[in-house]
Chain A
Amino acid sequence: MLEKIRAELPELSISEVSYPERGYHLAMDAGREQILKVVGFFDKNGFYLEDLFCVDYVEYLELVYFFNNHCGLFRVKTVVRLEPDKPTAPTISDIYAIAHWYEREIHEFFGVYFENHPNLAYLFLHDGLDSYPLRKGTVKVPEEDRKLLGSGAYKESEDTFFVNLGPQHPSTHGVLRVVIKMDGEYILSAEPMLGYLHRMHEKMAENRNYAQFLPNPGRMDYLSALNFNLAYVETVEKISGIIVPERAQYIRTITCELNRISSHLLWLGAFLADLGGLTPFLYAFDDRENILDILEGVTGSRLTYSYFRFGGLFNDVDEKFADGTRAFLERMWKRLDIYDQLITKNVIFINRTKGVGILERDMVRKFGCSGPVIRGSGVPFDMRKLEPYAAYQHTDFEIPVAQNGDILDRYMIRVKEIETSLRIIGSALEKLPAGPFNAEKVPKKLKPPKGDVYHTVESPRGQLGVYLVSDGSETPHRMRWRVPSYSNLMTFPFLAQGVLIADAVAILGSLDLVIPEIDR
């Protein structure tokens, strides 16, 4: 692969990077004129755009593109340097569709102008802001650039009208507003509008030291808080070179898998409540209460955990945890029959979900989807197998994959993932080693060496990535969270064209979105 890149793009400066230390394989420096050629090259060779963001080093800005491959792991970091006044770059949204939204976010936070972008409007922020938030100094926003999405008035023609699938939803997605243009019963276009829950976690990371940021990841995605905690803690451990003892790795795996099951159970209840069956919601919450009780006995919290620390855990687990988990595993295997009988085999449910909302493989690559969404379309892409972290390489499991890409497949994959998680927990519990639960000699004030690192983790919704730039001081220079629901949500405007609104609600439910993590 490296030779191919060197052959086709000889004029760029390419350096190989040590993957275990930094989390990516190659670092490339491209100029503004060459970036389109580079992106075209990666698109032709089957790569997907993993992340696109900007870092502000005060004398210059850096646009960072991460490319990765669904078939095998090969992460490439491409950097474009821009000058700090009025930075401009060409847009790549016609090659990779997801870049449209990434570029809008970069524009409103950093002030980078993208040429030929179809609609450079505000995504998260409002138009009353004076300066670009994520820049290091105060850089004023020119008046004419404060454009909100929807500032162009919605013109209602004879047959069509606009409907808000409003920020207040009857089902638990979070606060998402989708403006739908409808013609009778059918949808012509759908546009998601975000920013209702924006809390500037990325800016908070620059103002707190590494230990003080620990409560924040759990608030980003509160349904799988332990997975987010794990991503952050492992990133900092990677950049500082802290080694975690075996027992802590196993306990991290077990608790993260328990959290995955609870997140999938909540998704199940909410998805069926969208479709109209209100009873499985209560059954799923009954099972979820068990998990929450077990995790409360260990960590002390029920929803937003901050249990992991750099080098291990906050406290050790006791026998009650192991007994409770084993009892839960036994109970859960029997309870899966109830869901099977009540939902999976139900003819009304199958008719509602089969053949609806089909996501093709090429679209999956253009958007960079991950998680059950991509596994439902036939690509076996799971970070637990591809880039094993914590104790996953010691446990034995298979990842479920389906071929059709409709809603029923995504539902079946999530149910099978619950079973997979049960198996992982069972095997990890058996192999749980004795030993210390914390690494020794972790400095109280952590000052990682200068450099950047990228680390990914499989959250219940997909691939979660953290990019950390450290400048040797106590607070991070830049922390970027690549959240899975972002790229999954952006397929919705394409999937929802021409369908009935009942189907649109079902599709939105099946993508398993949690808006707080999109809004960060």
Chain B
Amino acid sequence: MKLIIDIITGAYSLLAGMWVTIKAFFSPVVTVQYPRKVIDITPRFRGHIKLVSDQEDPSRMKCFVCGSCERACPSNSIKKVEGEKREGEKKKTVTSYILDFTTCSQCGLCVESCPVGAIDFSADYNPVGFRREDFCWDLVREFEKRRAAA
């Protein structure tokens, strides 16, 4: 007798499972067909870092080459930050900021350590290249490219 009850409950459980799948079969898909449809990226997304422009003078960058970000990075991704002191300005201006993105782990220690907030995460979620050198950027040049495009 117990065997028959077991068989019937077993069969019912299988049918209940099949009902779940067939309901899913007729429901809309939950996937997004990526290259043809792009989802918006959240503003807090941690892409690679970028140099931030000064609020008063948008043609200048805030960075004054203190080197805290270079020291804070655990993976030595920020290779060399160099700058020069120009005439009539109190602080240095950055001329070259090499970032090696292949070793960056997006931890945010550099962003946190900057005393003036001169670097921030970008929303660039799909940088593409064919060689490792394609991911070694000079952020000063990227800044100028962004300003020229805007």
Direct A–B touching, Cβ under 8 Å? yes
Give me the interface of A with B, judged by CB distance under 8 Å. Answer: 208, 211-216, 219, 279, 283, 286, 289, 296-301, 304, 306, 309, 314-315, 338, 341-343, 345-348, 444
Q: CB distance B107 to A347 under 8 Å?
A: no
Quick one: given A299-B44, A301-B46, A347-B9, are A214 and B109 in contact (CB under 8 Å)?
yes
Q: CB distance A300 to B72 under 8 Å?
A: no
Q: How far is the CA of A240 from the CA of B29 in the complex (A)?
A: 51
Return B109 CB to nearest CB of chain A, in Å: 6
Q: CB distance A314 to B108 under 8 Å?
A: yes
Q: How far is the CA of A419 from the CA of B24 in the complex (A)?
A: 23
Which residues of chain A are within 8 angstroms of B109 by Cβ–Cβ distance? 211-212, 214
Q: How far is the CA of A212 from the CA of B71 in the complex (A)?
A: 10
Q: How far is the CA of A32 from the CA of B58 in the complex (A)?
A: 69
Interface segment out of the listed B12-20, B86-94, B130-138, B141-149: B12-20
Which residues of chain B are within 8 angstroms of A214 by Cβ–Cβ distance? 74, 107, 109
Q: CB distance A297 to B17 under 8 Å?
A: no
Cβ contacts B1-29/A at 8 Å (1 or 0 each): 00000000111011011011100100000
Quick one: given A211-B72, A314-B108, are A296 and B42 in contact (CB under 8 Å)?
yes
Within 8 A of A (CB), among B59-79: 72-75
Instruction: Tell me, yes or no, whether B38 is within 8 Å of chain A by CB.
Output: no
Which residues of chain A are within 8 angstroms of B42 by Cβ–Cβ distance? 296-297, 300
Quick one: given A208-B74, A213-B74, A338-B20, are A347 and B44 in contact (CB under 8 Å)?
no
Which residues of chain A are within 8 angstroms of B9 by Cβ–Cβ distance? 347
* Chain A residue with the shortest CB-CB distance to B113: A444
Q: How many A-B residue pairs have CB under 8 A?
A: 71
Q: How far is the CA of A296 from the CA of B42 in the complex (A)?
A: 7
Q: How far is the CA of A314 from the CA of B121 in the complex (A)?
A: 13
Q: How far is the CA of A309 from the CA of B17 in the complex (A)?
A: 45
* Chain B residue with the shortest CB-CB distance to A315: B44
Quick one: given A346-B13, A346-B14, A346-B17, are A301 and B106 in contact (CB under 8 Å)?
yes
Q: CB distance A341 to B113 under 8 Å?
A: no
Q: CB distance B72 to A212 under 8 Å?
A: yes
Which residues of chain B are within 8 angstroms of A216 by Cβ–Cβ distance? 74
Q: CB distance B121 to A300 under 8 Å?
A: yes
Q: CB distance A300 to B106 under 8 Å?
A: yes
Which residues of chain A are within 8 angstroms of B46 by Cβ–Cβ distance? 299-301
Cβ contacts B99-140/A at 8 Å (1 or 0 each): 000000111110011000000010000000000000000000
Pairs across A and B, CB under 8 Å, 6 listed:
A214-B109, A283-B24, A297-B44, A301-B46, A338-B20, A341-B17
Which residues of chain B are within 8 angstroms of A444 by Cβ–Cβ distance? 113
Which residues of chain B are within 8 angstroms of A299 by Cβ–Cβ distance? 44, 46
* Chain B residue with the shortest CB-CB distance to A338: B20
Return A176 CB to nearest CB of chain B, in Å: 25
Q: How far is the CA of A283 from the CA of B11 in the complex (A)?
A: 23
Return B28 CB to nearest CB of chain A, in Å: 12
Interface centre among B19, B42, B107, B109, by most chain A C-beta atoms within 10 angstroms, is B107
Q: How far is the CA of A346 from the CA of B105 in the complex (A)?
A: 43
Instruction: Tell me, yes or no, whether B150 is within 8 Å of chain A by CB.
Output: no
Which residues of chain A are within 8 angstroms of B20 by Cβ–Cβ distance? 338, 341-342
Q: How far is the CA of A219 from the CA of B106 in the complex (A)?
A: 12
Q: How far is the CA of A306 from the CA of B73 in the complex (A)?
A: 13
Return B25 CB to nearest CB of chain A, in Å: 10
Within 8 A of A (CB), among B16-58: 16-17, 19-21, 24, 30, 42, 44-46
* Chain B residue with the shortest CB-CB distance to A304: B105
- Other CB < 8 Å A-B pairs besides A300-B106, A347-B9, 17 of them? A208-B74, A211-B72, A212-B72, A212-B109, A216-B74, A219-B105, A289-B30, A296-B45, A300-B45, A300-B46, A300-B108, A306-B106, A315-B44, A338-B20, A342-B16, A345-B13, A346-B17
